[in-house]
Amino acid sequence: MIVASFFAPRYEVYDNCDYDALALLLDKSCKKLGLEHVVISDSFRPKPLKTCLTKLPENLMQAIFYGQIKFMKETNDTILFTGADCLLTKKLGLNHDSLPDLAITTSKTFSDCEMNTGAVWVKDKEKCIKIWEEVLEKEPKDWGDDQIFLYEGIKRSNLNTLYLPCEEHNWAPSSINDDAGFPTVVHFRGKRKSFMKDWAKRYLGIE
């Protein structure tokens, strides 16, 4: 399995957060598990980060889908799409032939969209590329449209999809004092980014 995050600087959107520093922490958490990590971007990210370089649309939501489609076309391995503001604590094995085309994480606690794209496992890339391309054609534009549009596309599709609980596989700590139950992916959504570095050091021994 290969881990692919995304960061293409769009400063008016990212509000000057140092996503490269966060991606470096994610990279260290992947290496600790023996996993390769690549950042999808339209400019080279700082070493030792490995960059999947491609031209991307200026709109962030569309850039995410465009970049992930390119990565799926170029990668033979099972992929975990995650955010640069995430850390991995364990592997989720999705390489066996009997496992589904796609695995996503959902929770009823989210008000905007049950699905959260902090953790998306892609096994059948040909099938998933078609769904991603259909979603991109709908031109998602606003923050959060990536989750909403993709979830709708998945539900309309015939993909064999595994629905995993966010609480176990893609969850956010409430504070530096919260281990979040050590989900597969620890997701530092929103203002939680401010303590991602300290959390990584305290709970994963990464700095």
Residue-range domain boundaries for the chain: 2-204
pLDDT at 177: 96
- Confidence at residue 144, expressed as pLDDT on a 0 to 100 scale: 83
Q: Say if residue 94's pLDDT is above 60.
A: no
- Cβ partners under 8 Å of residue 198, min gap 6: 176
As a whole-number percent, the residues of the chain with pLDDT over 90 amount to 83
Q: Which residues pair with 49 in a beta bridge?
A: none
Which residues have a Cβ under 8 Å from the Cβ of 61 and sit 6 or more positions away?
Answer: 140, 141, 142, 143, 145, 146, 149
Rounded to whole angstroms, the Cα distance separating 5 from 175 reads 23
Query: What's the pLDDT at 111?
Result: 80
Pick the CATH number of 2-204 from 3.90.920.10, 1.10.3300.10, 3.90.550.10, 3.20.20.140: 3.90.550.10
Give the lowest-confidence range in 13-22, 148-157, 190-199.
13-22
Write down the pTM of the prediction.
0.93
pLDDT of 145 above 80? yes
Average confidence (pLDDT) over 152-168 = 94
Q: What rounded mean pLDDT belongs to the chain? A: 92
Q: Render the burial of 23-33: b for 16+ CB within 10 Å, e for the rest.
A: bbbbbbbbeee
Confidence band of 53 (pLDDT split at 50, 70, 90): very high
Q: How far is CA 70 from CA 2, 73, 74, 168, in A?
A: 14, 5, 6, 29
Q: Compute the average pLDDT of residues 85-104.
A: 82
C-alpha 106/C-alpha 167 separation (Å) is 8
**140: confidence class by pLDDT, cuts 50, 70, 90:** very high
Query: What confidence score (pLDDT) does residue 166 get?
Result: 96
Q: In the predicted model, is pLDDT for residue 11 greater than 90?
A: no
Query: In this predicted structure, what is the pLDDT of residue 92?
Result: 80
Give residue 195's pLDDT.
96
> CA-to-CA distance for 202 and 179, rounded, in angstroms?
9
Q: Residue 176 is encoded by which pair of tokens?
A: 């530096």
Nearest to 137 by CA among 149, 125, 128: 149
**Cα 201 to Cα 207: distance, rounded to the nearest angstrom:** 5
What 8-state DSSP symbol labels residue 26? H
How large is the average pLDDT for residues 43-69?
96
- Other Cβ atoms less than 10 A from the Cβ of 183: the count is 26
Least confident segment among 7-11, 61-65, 202-206: 7-11
